[in-house]
Amino acid sequence: MHPRPRRVLAASAATLAALSMAACASSDRDESGGDSAESEGGGTFVFGGAGDPTMFDPAFATDGETFRVTRQIYEGLLTNEPGTADLAPALAESYEVSEDGLTYTFALREGVTFHDGTDFNADAVCFNFDRWYNFEGLAASPAASEYWQNNFGGFASTPDVPSLYAGCEAPDETTAVLTLTETTSKFPAVLALPSFAIQSPTALEQYAADELGGNGDALTYTEYGLEHPTGTGPFRFDSWDQGNGEVTIVKNDDYWGDAPGVDEIVFRSIPDGNTRRQELQAGSIDGYDLVAPADYQTLEDGGFQVLPRDPFNILYLGMNGGGIEGTSANPALQDIRVRQAIAHAIDRDTIVSSLLPEGAEAAIEFVPPAVDGWTEDVTTYDYDPARSQALLAEAGAAGTTLRFYYPTAVSRPYLPDPGAMYEVISKNLTDAGFTVEPVSLPWNPDYLDAVQAGAADVHLLGWTGDYNDAYNFIGTFFADAGGGKMKAEFGGWSAPEVFSALAAGDSEPDTEARGPLYEQANVAIMDFLPAVPISHAPNALVVAENVDGLIPSPLSAEDFSTVTVG
Amino acid sequence: MLRFIVRRLVQLVPILLGLSVLLFAWLRALPGGPAQAALGERATPEDIARYNEVFGLDQPVLVQYGKFVGRALQLDFGTSSRTGRAVTTEFLERFPGTVELTIFAMVFAIGVGIPLGYLAARKHGSWIDSTSVIGSLLGVAIPVFFLAYLLRLAFAVELGWLPGSGRQDVRIDATHISNFYVLDGLLTREWDAAWDALQHLVLPGIALGTIPLAIIVRITRASVLEVVNEDYVRTANAKGLAAKTVRQRHIIRNALLPVSTTIGLQTGLLLSGAVLTETVFAFGGVGSALADAIANRDYALLQGFILILAIVYVVANLLVDISYGLLDPRVRVR
């Protein structure tokens, strides 16, 4: 393996220079690509998922089981470095961004063809962007194109909803120029999201990919998405046996990069966790996802390789700022000393060691360490019940009653057991001199509705990142939600210093320069303390002893083309 | 007999209508609703309103119900909100698996249950009797997922004799015509595919067949015990009939009447989908589809499947009644 620079696609707005590092990364692939790999490897890799995919047009997908398959069939302009959330070149070898951050010029890879033989070029790139922007009717409904709407906003057909997308031009075969309506921290990271993978214009048109149907209660997907997904990736779609929950993809012999290590991959849907484990032990499958933390040791003892993903999520205790009308937040929380007392009361190390899987970390701020903008230089709040009691006494708030909301009937990667988490934190708060009044609600929709409306004094919630940009975490939580207030979940805290630090990061077109700005934002947030960060928790894949080359990704964006079965 | 059948079929209509109203009302009363399920936890109220508008969920409930019934009469149960395919297509693809599994489970339950129940009764009070009584209690009491776990641990993980999940090995390139995999393998002369599909039925079939097995053992035993003390058996013995004749003509034939009812009811029950067994064995039948649909609030699929399965269940019961009539002339008189 070549040591790779941590940041392969760093764009410099000032120099407008195409990046030689990107070319370096691509040459890694070219050197060993092609024929040499054909003599080795081969065979079938059977992977167990927890559910069925929806269909295979990633523009209309939102779930992990679908994306796991589409990631092998399609490629985007950019991708992530294996095992990290950092950007890396894919169909674009490099890009330049204008000084105002509104124009991105991509130098496209040459000699790439889609699985149906169509050439990949700048026209194909623009065809895809125009396709997404011109979705209408059912395709533009939130159920269909959620990722476009979350990241690019509106469509040509919805002039009242602003869109980030301004246009795409193809001055020549290998240059695609994308223009935006405003500078945003989402760019270019969103281009690595699986929904924005480039698909074959020929196949999209031939199988009427946009003509979603629907009668009664649901969308009907198209022949394209169900039977003819066509990309440029290392594997081609072969078949989907829906009755048995089996998707088969086969090696793309014309792939531009390294030939895949196996001839065929079968994704099997096995909803029950115990069954997945036993099927791996029985040898019917070669690996599976979402290993139960309790199974780590058994599997490792049995000679299986447990591959934990770097934590890419955050669990926090939200606090109510009392700025939302109609909610009755505890006024004691307005005092920074009371919030600090809560932060010092929580025993993160115990939580990490007893309630979360191996590899979990205590959080000192709201982004995981893998994200640019994470810094050690924030104010930290160590576990110190005596300090909490002192702070409370100083604020004259000893014995303050906190209505503590926590969810039931749910398990999230960042919160495997909400009841147990509540027990520990509630005990911590009581030890520090608070009185806790528990409120438990079913996760969806009761709990989410209640905490998002600002009903709780304190509440447990978390977030899993979509891509490596700190704004995806801290901007989602603490940005100005209008009127100089944070969103209702945080009780509308008014924190101008946090808002300005976040806005500075979000509007910085140079990705390199964003890191330090986000560091400042993290410092401002941890000083203001609108909520208390608790932990980052990993999850894991497992593969059999004879499987090599699967690199766990913090974004669950594993590339299966490097997998070999010995 | 014909009038009997027609009358039973007419009774189907109010049953189905009532069921459709219940299903329609109940599903819509669940928290969250279809929009929240489809859009996920990050959906804004505007998103939900747009979704409801697009899918007609903002229309009056009566209008929604009327449309639903109208389409159902044409066997159009809408499309699954999870897979986007017609519910009827999903059903036709899934049902053969459940039928195969049911057949295997019932053959196992009957093949083991009747002889065991008979033996227990004839050796009344012996160790065979007490073992089978205790065994059948266990069979009813043991949770299916735990039994599945144990069976797979023994026969798939440790011994490696049998496959532990699915309907067919993914590495077998089988042709599917009818979606009855064993039958397909026989029809296409792909013997290995048929054999593999049959092997895949063994563990889930045993797990699923345990409860019917336990019930059949107990009913056969009780029924045989009752029959052997009847006057006509004593008469048959007294007039010197061979023991074999008495056993076959007088005891078994009469004792099996209540057993046949049980078998019919149990078969109908298994055909309506073994949610737990199919889920823990990742077996692609109607049961696992129902489990997915509940988790995803897939209204259309739930409504369609439950209605079709209700018909299947009622028809299975009808067949039981008819067979009962054939076995026992007294029933036809009514």
* Residue range A86-95, pLDDT digits in tens: 899 999 999 9
- Given a cut of 80, whether residue A328 has pLDDT beyond it is no
A444 vs B41: CB contact, 8 Å cut-off? yes
* Residue range B48-78, pLDDT digits in tens: 777 777 767 778 888 888 887 888 788 888 7
A218 vs B300: CB contact, 8 Å cut-off? yes
Compute the nearest-CA separation of B142 from chain A (Å).
17
Q: A459 — alpha (psi -120 to 50), left (phi > 0) or beta? A: beta
**Tokens linked to A370:** 């893998």
Sign of CA dihedral B121, B124, B126, B131: positive
**Tokens linked to A358:** 């191996």
**Tokens linked to B243:** 């023991």
Among A148-152, A215-219, A442-446, which range has the highest average pLDDT? A148-152
The one-letter code for the residue type at B287 is G
Q: Which residue has the higher pLDDT, B9 or A485?
A: A485
- Name the residue among B43, B56, B165 with its Cβ closest to that of A270: B165
- With beta carbons under 8 A apart, name residues in chain A contacting B40: 62, 146
- Best of A275, A280, A412 to substitute, by most chain B Cβ atoms within 10 angstroms, is A275
* Residue range B279-319, pLDDT digits in tens: 888 888 898 888 888 776 677 788 888 888 888 888 888 78
A215 vs B78: CB contact, 8 Å cut-off? yes
Q: Is B143 exposed, middle or buried (0-12, 13-18, 19+ CB in 10 A)?
A: exposed
- CA trace torsion A374, A377, A378, A381 (10° rounding): 120
**Tokens linked to A77:** 């302009």
A221 vs B84: CB contact, 8 Å cut-off? yes
- Best of A46, A147, A217 to substitute, by most chain B Cβ atoms within 10 angstroms, is A217
- Given a cut of 50, whether residue A30 has pLDDT beyond it is no
pLDDT band at A34 (very low <50, low <70, confident <90, very high): very low
Q: Which residues contact A61 (CB under 8 A, 6 or more apart)?
A: A53, A54, A55, A67, A70, A147, A194, A195
The one-letter code for the residue type at A203 is A
**CA distance from start to end of chain B:** 10
B36 vs A444: CB contact, 8 Å cut-off? yes
B84 vs A54: CB contact, 8 Å cut-off? yes
CB A525 within 8 A of CB A366: yes
Sign of CA dihedral B130, B131, B134, B135: negative
Compute the nearest-CA separation of B192 from chain A (Å).
17
Find the residue in B nearest to A66 (Cα).
B83
Output the pLDDT for position B255.
Answer: 87
pLDDT band at B21 (very low <50, low <70, confident <90, very high): confident
B51 vs A143: CB contact, 8 Å cut-off? yes
pLDDT band at A156 (very low <50, low <70, confident <90, very high): very high
Per-residue pLDDT, averaged over A501-522, amounts to 91
Compute the nearest-CA separation of A221 from chain B (Å).
5
C-alpha distance from residue B151 to each of A15, B147, B202, B238 (Å): 66, 6, 10, 48
Find the residue in A nearest to B288 (Cα).
A271
* Residue range A211-239, pLDDT digits in tens: 887 644 456 788 899 899 999 999 999 99
Percentage above 90 pLDDT, chain B = 17
- Name the residue among A271, A445, A446 with its Cβ closest to that of B282: A271
Q: Where are the alpha helices (DSSP H) in A35-185?
A: 64-73, 122-133, 146-151
- With beta carbons under 8 A apart, name residues in chain B contacting A411: none
Find the residue in A nearest to B180 (Cα).
A243
- Name the residue among A243, A246, A269 with its Cβ closest to that of B93: A243
Number of helices (H), then strands (E), in chain A? 17, 23
Asked if residue A445 has a cis previous peptide bond (ω within 30° of 0), the answer is yes
Q: Give the least confident one: A1-10, A174-183, A407-416.
A: A1-10
Output the pLDDT for position B201.
Answer: 93
- With beta carbons under 8 A apart, name residues in chain A contacting B151: none
CB A371 within 8 A of CB A465: yes
- With beta carbons under 8 A apart, name residues in chain A contacting B200: none
pLDDT band at B40 (very low <50, low <70, confident <90, very high): low
Q: Is A32 exposed, middle or buried (0-12, 13-18, 19+ CB in 10 A)?
A: exposed
Output the pLDDT for position B30.
Answer: 60
- Given a cut of 80, whether residue A115 has pLDDT beyond it is yes
Q: Give the least confident one: A152-166, A254-268, A435-449, A524-538.
A: A435-449
Q: What is the H or E stretch that residue B308 is in?
A: helix B299-327
Q: Give the least confident one: A322-326, A408-412, B280-284.
A: A408-412
- Given a cut of 90, whether residue B170 has pLDDT beyond it is no
- With beta carbons under 8 A apart, name residues in chain B contacting A278: 149, 152-153, 156-157, 164-165
Find the residue in A nearest to B300 (Cα).
A217
Find the residue in A nearest to B64 (Cα).
A216
CA distance A238 to A256: 19
A284 vs B156: CB contact, 8 Å cut-off? yes
Percentage above 70 pLDDT, chain A = 91
Compute the nearest-CA separation of A319 from chain B (Å).
20
Q: Which residues contact B73 (CB under 8 A, 6 or more apart)?
A: none
pTM: 0.78
- Given a cut of 60, whether residue A196 has pLDDT beyond it is yes
C-alpha distance from residue A554 to each of A3, A265, A467, A547 (Å): 19, 22, 9, 20
- With beta carbons under 8 A apart, name residues in chain B contacting A283: 160
- Best of B50, B83, B301 to substitute, by most chain A Cβ atoms within 10 angstroms, is B83
pLDDT band at A110 (very low <50, low <70, confident <90, very high): very high
A275 vs B85: CB contact, 8 Å cut-off? no
Q: What is the mean pLDDT of chain B?
A: 83
- Best of B165, B184, B296, B298 to substitute, by most chain A Cβ atoms within 10 angstroms, is B165
- Given a cut of 50, whether residue A13 has pLDDT beyond it is no
Output the pLDDT for position B176.
Answer: 83
Per-residue pLDDT, averaged over A160-164, amounts to 89
Per-residue pLDDT, averaged over A340-362, amounts to 93
Compute the nearest-CA separation of B18 from chain A (Å).
21
- Given a cut of 90, whether residue A244 has pLDDT beyond it is no
- With beta carbons under 8 A apart, name residues in chain A contacting B27: none
The one-letter code for the residue type at A107 is A
Per-residue pLDDT, averaged over B327-333, amounts to 65
Output the pLDDT for position A346.
Answer: 97
Per-residue pLDDT, averaged over B204-210, amounts to 92
Per-residue pLDDT, averaged over A299-307, amounts to 94
A278 vs B153: CB contact, 8 Å cut-off? yes
Q: What is the mean pLDDT of chain A?
A: 87
Q: What is the DSSP letter of B83?
A: T
- With beta carbons under 8 A apart, name residues in chain B contacting A67: none
Per-residue pLDDT, averaged over A273-297, amounts to 88
Compute the nearest-CA separation of B114 from chain A (Å).
32
Per-residue pLDDT, averaged over B181-208, amounts to 90
* Residue range A482-491, pLDDT digits in tens: 889 998 899 9
- Name the residue among B47, B78, B167 with its Cβ closest to that of A216: B78
CA distance A256 to A167: 28
- With beta carbons under 8 A apart, name residues in chain B contacting A138: 54
- With beta carbons under 8 A apart, name residues in chain B contacting A489: none
Output the pLDDT for position A312.
Answer: 92
A245 vs B281: CB contact, 8 Å cut-off? no
- Residues B58, B59, B64, CA angle at the centre, nearest 5°? 120
Q: What is the H or E stretch that residue A170 is in?
A: strand A165-172
CA distance A123 to A173: 7
B288 vs A271: CB contact, 8 Å cut-off? yes
Which residue from A221, A235, A225, A220 is spatially nearest to A204, judged by alpha carbons? A225
pLDDT band at A332 (very low <50, low <70, confident <90, very high): very high
Per-residue pLDDT, averaged over A524-547, amounts to 95
B152 vs A275: CB contact, 8 Å cut-off? yes
- With beta carbons under 8 A apart, name residues in chain B contacting A142: 39, 43, 47, 50-51
Q: What is the H or E stretch that residue A55 is in?
A: none
In sequence order, the β-bridge partners of residue A438 are: A404
B79 vs A219: CB contact, 8 Å cut-off? yes
- Name the residue among A146, A216, A281 with its Cβ closest to that of B55: A216
Output the pLDDT for position A528.
Answer: 96
Find the residue in A nearest to B91 (Cα).
A243
- With beta carbons under 8 A apart, name residues in chain A contacting B35: 143
Compute the nearest-CA separation of A209 from chain B (Å).
14
- With beta carbons under 8 A apart, name residues in chain A contacting B93: 242-243
Q: Where are the alpha helices (DSSP H) in B60-126?
A: 61-73, 87-122
Count of CB atoms situated within 10 Å of the CB of A498 = 26
Q: What is the DSSP letter of A153?
A: B
Question: What interface predicted TM-score (ipTM) does this complex get?
Answer: 0.71
CA distance A292 to A298: 11
